[in-house]
Structure 1
Amino acid sequence: MSITGAMNAAISGLRAASLGTEIVSNNISNALTPSYGTRSMDLSALNFGATGGVRIDGISRQVNESVIADLRSADAAQQNSQTAVDFFLQLEDAIGIAGDENGLSGRLASFEESLIAAASRPDLTERLSDTVADAGRLVDGIANAAQGIQDMRTSADTKIAQDVATLNTALEQVEQLNIQITANLSRGGSSPALLDQRQSVLDTIGAIVPINAVPRDNGAVAIYTDGGAVLLDITAATIGFDQQNVVTEFQTLEAGTLSGLTMNGQDIRTSALAGGSLGGNFEVRDTYGVAAQEQLDAFARDLVERFADPAVDSTLSTGDPGLFTDAGAAFDSADEVGLSRRLALNFAVDPEAGGEIWRIRDGLGATSTGLVGDSTLLNSLQSALETSRIPASGDFGSGALTTADLLSSFSGSLASTRSNAEQDLTFTSARFTELTQLSLSEGVDSDKELQNLLILEQAYAANARVIQAADEMIETLTRL
């Protein structure tokens, strides 16, 4: 090999060592960076006649696509489970747990205790006043819980809109990244940074909707959901959704009063994009929230019907509103939806509506006060709470229940459902954590990178020594 050939070979070695050192530095500094793929340098021998050395063919990116796909699936499942748990925890807060004096069970117990206390001394105005006040607190608790359910449904509708906007933006980004990556590969280049960015965007999509990223020619990918929808294949699909400012108990997806999803202007089943945060918010808005509202309305109906019975209050006629009313009027069984938010005390006994508290003792239809020592009606009202009857609506089974039993069934069912949701979240979180650790272990190996750095330093020193020796040879020749 000539002196010039040796110098050229050594220079190519220095160039490779320099780039290799930069790659090692980037790998170590990004060891914990999400979506970062370990870089390595691709080299081949240069050997044209007497000239040798190395040629830098490009920079490769190493990732375990199988682990990444499993991690995306686990992330979507965790997001879905977390959405359900958050809803049931908020609902439990709104309903209240056993022993919570501000919960529905606590308010119902206070009302019953007030009735018993008032029946023992019906002549005491303060006890009658306490009874009316506790009845009002029970009404307020039911109405607040119903409002809380609709607030959570409205929030879920807003989150759906946010997820759809994020999804559309991310799909457009993947489409553009596909174009850039394909262009780079067609020119013989590599695109590790673009591949990192695309993986990050795909991870964003995967948290919203479980997806499969399918390789296409020239480095591009297509995106399919687990439900079979094609989100991207050459061009990105456009997902449509119409957000509601406020969701009410009268609005449901089945009735067509709430928006579903469209894809490129065509209706699509929400189940096709289920499994991630998007599907979880649809479940809150259209399944969990609706079911909770139905149960609460059924409980409110049972409360209304118990006290509207003329057998309980002889001053009432059939069809008259009882102690608990539908916005002050008699309840119509055909108008049960939303009753829990409309529930109100009978105006005749509500001081805030111009009523008189003595009617809780003498009768809602009484025109004048009766015997102040007569506790007959108060005992009847308390007995109405403890009478077992079959609920006219709701999913409480077919058995006869007291008011307390009915509320206990509702709370118990809620606690059981929440517990099941938390178990699902525990499983999905554990799976996500394990796969995250596996993904990190499949990523940058810092020990190996440091070993590579030592090798590169030795190679750099060796090539530098070759150049120094060649320089000394040339200098010697020039002195001859």
Structure 2
Amino acid sequence: MGLSLALNTARTSLVATSSQIAVASRNIAGANDASYARKIATLVTGGGAVRVVIARASDAALFARKLDATSASAERNALLGGLTTLSRTVGDTADATSPAARLGALNAALQAAANQPDKTAILRTAVDAARDLAGSLNTAAESVHGVRLEADKAMSASVARINDLLVQYDAANRAVIRGTAEGSDISDSLDDRDRIIAALSEEVGLTTVEREGGDLALYTDGGVPLFERTARSVTLAATAAFAPGTVGAAVTVDGVPVTGSASPMPLASGRLAGLAALRDDLAPAYEAQLDAIAGALVEVFAETDKVTPSAGDRPGLFTLGAGAASTAGSAARIRINPAVDPQRGGDLALLRDGGMNGAAYRDNPATDAAYSGRLRGLAAALAAERGFDPGADLKGSASLLGFAAASAGWLEAKRKDAAAAAEYQATLLGRAGDALSNAVGVNGDDETAQTLQLERSYTASAKLLTLVDDLLRTLLDAVR
């Protein structure tokens, strides 16, 4: 081997080995970064020269699985958070403040009053129980509206984050396209792009489509373009307040609605999908059940005109207010009749005798203090079967007490299902993340061992270079 050839070989080896050591050092530095993919330095020969090409470990299938798991987990956690709030503030049948428990207390108070109709204190207890029941329904309705408002605010925050991430994605995608065209190292740009995609998948379900030149298009899991050459605008008109019947605005991507019943391509997963389901479906469904309870209470306690029965019934102990013809929002509007409320100058005896709407509606014309017929009739009506149709989940016949208990059970069942699904998705996400990390992540021990091996190679090349230098110096000295 000629000295010039040996010198060139040693120098090339030093450059290549130093590049490989630098890559190994990058890997060690990124070992604790979940978005970092292992870099692989490969020696390529050609034209009598050796160069280092840096590749990036990747597994498209595992990455797609992790994106799906991330979106599903975020959706379930969003649902669970809202349902837990409803369950905590509204309660269940064992909670003394829940509508079901308040209804049971009213039933017990009516039966006690029927046994002793001449006792004013017992009548007062029954009216107080009715007031507590109405207040419980009002509070429950307010809780539903609060959950819907918080969900809407969270949706607005999610939309803002998506738009911000899309701006970042545009820059990262352009860096990949530019680096691909120039033939430069794009591994870090690919890491940045994947990190942004992973963050986007928390907010909305994603699918990716590779294009020529390193370009990567993004679509929602419903098929709406989210990024195709350029970022698409994601918008949501925030709702300032929620009242009975309020319909939240739909999230749109480039003008196409992706949430709500009118969406042609709705989101299937992601935090936005979970929040939209909570705001537009689950919370209104529960409010419809509360409205059904309130509407039934008005009907059960209504008074009939004894003089002209064809005149129809009028609200008795419970009222929805003047001009309230629809049952929508009944839980938010229900109150006890001022005519029987002693706190507003009402007469407690009207609960026993009837006549809150005038003398024509009195059941006990003689105002007999021992009269218990109306009180027993009201207690029996509470326990009687009646039809309910607040929605597909709880259609059928039940007593008011039974329906209230079924409503609380429905809410708790939804919460438990959401909790189980959230736990399952969290486990699935953890395993998907572990699988991807094992495939493309960095093993610090392996990288350290490889660095030591490369350092030995570097030392050998340096010794060869020193030897060639000594030989050249000897040769020059001999020529002189």
Distance 2:95 2:265 in 1: 38
Distance 1:117 1:330 in 2: 33
Distance 1:369 1:426, change over 3 A: farther
Distance 1:350 1:3, change over 3 A: farther
Secondary structure in 2 matching 1:273 = coil
Q: Does 2:228 correspond to 1:233?
A: yes
- Of 261, 273, 293, 2:251 maps to 261
The alpha-carbon deviation at position 406 of structure 1 amounts to 1.4
Q: Does 2:74 correspond to 1:63?
A: no
Structure 1 runs not aligned, ≥5 long: 253-257
- The residue number in structure 2 matching 1:217 is 212
Matches within 5 A, 1:18-57: 18-45=18-45, 48=48, 54-56=50-52
- Of 68, 79, 82, 1:73 maps to 68
The alpha-carbon deviation at position 370 of structure 1 amounts to 4.2
- The residue number in structure 1 matching 2:406 is 409
Runs ≥4 in structure 1, deviation > 6 angstroms? 366-369
Secondary structure in 2 matching 1:444 = coil
Secondary structure in 2 matching 1:165 = helix
1:172-219 CA-partner distances (Å, limit 9, x unpaired): 222222212211222221122211111011111222222122222222
- The residue number in structure 2 matching 1:450 is 448
Q: Does 2:15 correspond to 1:15?
A: yes
Distance 2:47 2:32 in 1: 39
- Of 321, 330, 338, 1:339 maps to 330
Distance 1:78 1:394 in 2: 27
Report if aligned partners of 1:146, 1:293 keep a CA contact under 8 Å in 2. yes
Secondary structure in 2 matching 1:272 = coil
Distance 1:22 1:411 in 2: 62
Distance 1:241 1:384 in 2: 47
Q: Percent identity?
A: 27
Amino acid at match of 1:263: V
The alpha-carbon deviation at position 103 of structure 1 amounts to 1.5
Amino acid at match of 2:254: N
Distance 1:161 1:274, change over 3 A: farther
Distance 1:232 1:127, change over 3 A: same
Q: Report the TM-score, using the length of structure 1 for normalisation.
A: 0.88
The 10-residue stretch of structure 1 (263-272 or 282-291) with the greater mean CA deviation from structure 2: 263-272
1:104-163 CA-partner distances (Å, limit 9, x unpaired): 222122222222333334444433332222211111111111111111112222222222
The 10-residue stretch of structure 1 (363-372 or 155-164) with the greater mean CA deviation from structure 2: 363-372
1:345-374 CA-partner distances (Å, limit 9, x unpaired): 111122333323343334353789945444
Secondary structure in 1 matching 2:22 = helix
- The residue number in structure 2 matching 1:430 is 427
Distance 1:392 1:165 in 2: 38
Distance 2:388 2:177 in 1: 65
Q: Report the TM-score, using the length of structure 2 for normalisation.
A: 0.88
Distance 1:461 1:119 in 2: 102
Distance 1:462 1:4, change over 3 A: same
Distance 2:257 2:96 in 1: 47
The alpha-carbon deviation at position 62 of structure 1 amounts to 1.0
Amino acid at match of 2:250: G
Measured on the aligned residues, the alpha-carbon RMSD in Å equals 2.8
The alpha-carbon deviation at position 434 of structure 1 amounts to 1.5
Amino acid at match of 1:107: R
The 10-residue stretch of structure 1 (35-44 or 411-420) with the greater mean CA deviation from structure 2: 411-420
Amino acid at match of 1:68: F
Matches within 5 A, 1:134-283: 134-252=129-247, 258-267=248-257, 269=263, 271-283=265-277
Distance 1:390 1:44, change over 3 A: closer
Distance 2:472 2:343 in 1: 108
Report if aligned partners of 2:224, 2:265 keep a CA contact under 8 Å in 1. no
- The residue number in structure 1 matching 2:288 is 294
Report if aligned partners of 2:152, 2:279 keep a CA contact under 8 Å in 1. yes
Structure 2 runs not aligned, ≥5 long: 360-364
Amino acid at match of 2:189: L
Distance 1:358 1:150 in 2: 36
- The residue number in structure 1 matching 2:362 is none
Distance 2:212 2:289 in 1: 54
Report if aligned partners of 1:111, 1:134 keep a CA contact under 8 Å in 2. yes
Length, aligned pairs only? 465
Secondary structure in 2 matching 1:176 = helix
- The residue number in structure 2 matching 1:310 is 304
Amino acid at match of 2:450: N
- The residue number in structure 1 matching 2:318 is 324
Q: Does 2:352 correspond to 1:361?
A: yes
- The residue number in structure 2 matching 1:468 is 466
Secondary structure in 2 matching 1:31 = coil
The alpha-carbon deviation at position 100 of structure 1 amounts to 1.4
The alpha-carbon deviation at position 46 of structure 1 amounts to 6.8
Distance 1:445 1:143 in 2: 58
Secondary structure in 1 matching 2:409 = helix
Distance 2:349 2:338 in 1: 13
Report if aligned partners of 1:229, 1:273 keep a CA contact under 8 Å in 2. no
- Of 89, 101, 104, 2:84 maps to 89
The alpha-carbon deviation at position 331 of structure 1 amounts to 5.2
- The residue number in structure 2 matching 1:351 is 342
